[in-house]
């Protein structure tokens, strides 16, 4: 188990985490991650070759406590602020962006833990397990989700869920299913143990290759009892119930998860700048009078632009993070307008960081294309992260611009899943 939890029985048989449970503070987790940074950097190429985070890396990460970052308070979680989560993902990104992505993606699904009975969900957090306990996949389109049909006592489900980041190491999966052929708002979520599905060995990408985001498959219809099926509406109801009990989740839902995950982008950009600056005093610029790249005005220009892009990205992220933490402190929920803006903010951060890294990569010269040079891998990982649907700069800016212009927006299936925030 990632970290021990003190718990007490309640009247309904559910074990609640004791208020006296001790959790490592964010600064301590960051120190642990920082001490692991040489290992993470040293394993980047091997992780890409394997197309997954190596088990030995998972075991080392487990000792830092990162797989418990978003464990709900009622199950012993520390309830970190948005800013603290950003800082932790930033520390991970400075080591290996692909590894940081798997940690972020596999902890993001914990919002859905509120949608299921506590006596079912608590097993995920109290059972011995090394690594991430859950992964979550699907919901934005039918192509990325499964299907379900109602039967006596439950549901029959089947489907294929691509890009299932974190599934290789997870004990359980939250999987989105559509249960009406004609209504895209009829989306549910099922909670299944690992033995219920198989993974295709089909993840082979130019960036974030080490995330092992394989397709999760259920070929033959599988019976899922009612207790393992939930909906966005049920999630909203349960969140309200938990809030009354003093165990409410922080506001923001998926929008919050996306914003804290931008720490990974900033961390990768900082790592890229570090790599570039380490090399500029050691090599000349071919076909130029400069024996040291460090002395060339073009180098100064590129570094200046890259650093400003990274700083601007951080400023945008920190403003959104402060807003999220303020909403929590003031006991206010996010609005749909807030969520659209968080997506735009996150897309800007990812795109700015990826562009800054690419500026440094191009300036590194022909030697930079060697796979022995980590900068090319960092560049590919960050750009791949920026192309995720939730971070796509054009889609997010169009949605944000539509909102600013007062044009009514249609509700998408992704919006339906985000209403639980």
pLDDT of residue 8: 44
Please give the CATH superfamily to which domain 7-131 belongs.
Acyl-CoA dehydrogenase/oxidase, N-terminal domain (1.10.540.10)
pLDDT of residue 238: 92
pLDDT of residue 254: 87
pLDDT of residue 414: 55
Nearest CA to 130 out of 64, 212, 199, 31 is that of 64
Detail the DSSP E strand segments found in 114-171. Answer: 134-137, 146-151, 154-161
Distances (CA, A) of 395 to 35, 46, 165: 38, 34, 22
Every domain of the chain and the residues it spans: 7-131, 135-230, 253-418
Low-confidence ranges of the chain (pLDDT < 50): 1-21, 413, 416, 419-421
pLDDT of residue 165: 94
Pair 303, 311: CB distance under 8 Å: no
pLDDT of residue 417: 52
> pLDDT, tens digit, for every residue of 64-121?
999 999 898 888 888 999 999 999 999 999 999 999 999 999 887 678 889 999 999 9
pLDDT of residue 50: 96
pLDDT of residue 418: 55
Please give the CATH superfamily to which domain 135-230 belongs.
Butyryl-CoA Dehydrogenase, subunit A, domain 2 (2.40.110.10)
pLDDT of residue 5: 37
Nearest CA to 177 out of 189, 160, 192 is that of 189
Pair 307, 274: CB distance under 8 Å: no
pLDDT of residue 210: 97
pLDDT of residue 406: 94
Q: Which CATH class is domain 253-418?
A: mainly alpha
Global pTM value: 0.92
pLDDT of residue 12: 45
> pLDDT, tens digit, for every residue of 346-371?
999 999 999 999 999 999 999 899 99
pLDDT of residue 413: 47
Distances (CA, A) of 410 to 185, 188, 345, 399, 416: 12, 20, 20, 10, 11
CA distance 409 to 35: 46
């Amino acid at each position: 188990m990632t970290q021990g939890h003190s718990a007490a029985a309640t009247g309904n048989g559910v074990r609640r985490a004791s208020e006296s449970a001790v959790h490592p503070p964010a600064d301590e987790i960051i120190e642990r991650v920082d001490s692991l940074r040489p290992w993470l950097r040293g394993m980047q190429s091997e992780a890409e070759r394997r197309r997954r985070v190596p088990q030995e890396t998972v075991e080392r990460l487990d000792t830092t406590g990162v797989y418990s970052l978003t464990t709900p308070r009622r199950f012993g979680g520390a309830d970190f602020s948005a800013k603290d989560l950003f800082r932790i993902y930033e520390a991970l990104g400075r080591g290996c962006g692909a590894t940081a992505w798997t940690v972020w993606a596999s902890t993001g699904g914990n919002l859905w833990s509120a949608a299921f009975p506590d006596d079912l969900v608590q097993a995920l957090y109290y059972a011995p397990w090394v690594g991430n306990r859950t992964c979550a996949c699907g919901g934005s389109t039918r192509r990325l989700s499964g299907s379900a049909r109602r039967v006596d006592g439950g549901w029959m489900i089947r489907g294929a869920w691509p890009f299932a980041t974190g599934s290789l190491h997870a004990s359980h999966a939250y999987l989105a299913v559509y249960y009406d052929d004609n209504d895209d708002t009829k989306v549910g979520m099922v909670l299944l143990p690992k033995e219920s599905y198989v993974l295709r060995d089909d993840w082979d990408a130019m960036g974030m290759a080490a995330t092992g985001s394989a397709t999760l498959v259920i070929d033959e219809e599988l019976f899922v009892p009612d207790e393992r099926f939930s909906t966005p509406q049920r999630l909203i109801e349960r969140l309200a119930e938990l809030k009354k009990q003093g165990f409410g989740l922080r506001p923001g839902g998926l929008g919050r998860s996306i914003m804290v995950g931008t720490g990974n982008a900033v961390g990768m950009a900082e790592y890229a700048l570090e790599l570039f600056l380490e090399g500029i005093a050691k090599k000349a610029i071919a076909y130029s009078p400069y024996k040291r790249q460090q002395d060339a005005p073009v180098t100064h220009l590129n570094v200046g632009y890259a650093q400003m892009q990274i700083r601007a990205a951080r400023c945008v992220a920190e403003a959104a993070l402060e807003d999220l933490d303020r909403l929590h402190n003031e006991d206010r929920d996010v609005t749909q307008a807030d969520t659209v803006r968080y997506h735009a903010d996150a897309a800007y951060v990812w795109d700015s960081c990826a562009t800054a890294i690419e500026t440094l990569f191009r300036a590194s010269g022909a030697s930079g294309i060697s796979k022995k040079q980590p900068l090319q891998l960092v560049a590919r990982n960050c750009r791949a992260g920026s192309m995720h649907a939730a971070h796509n700069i054009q889609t997010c800016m169009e949605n944000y611009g539509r909102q600013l212009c007062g044009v009514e927006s249609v509700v998408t299936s992704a919006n339906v899943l985000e209403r639980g925030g």
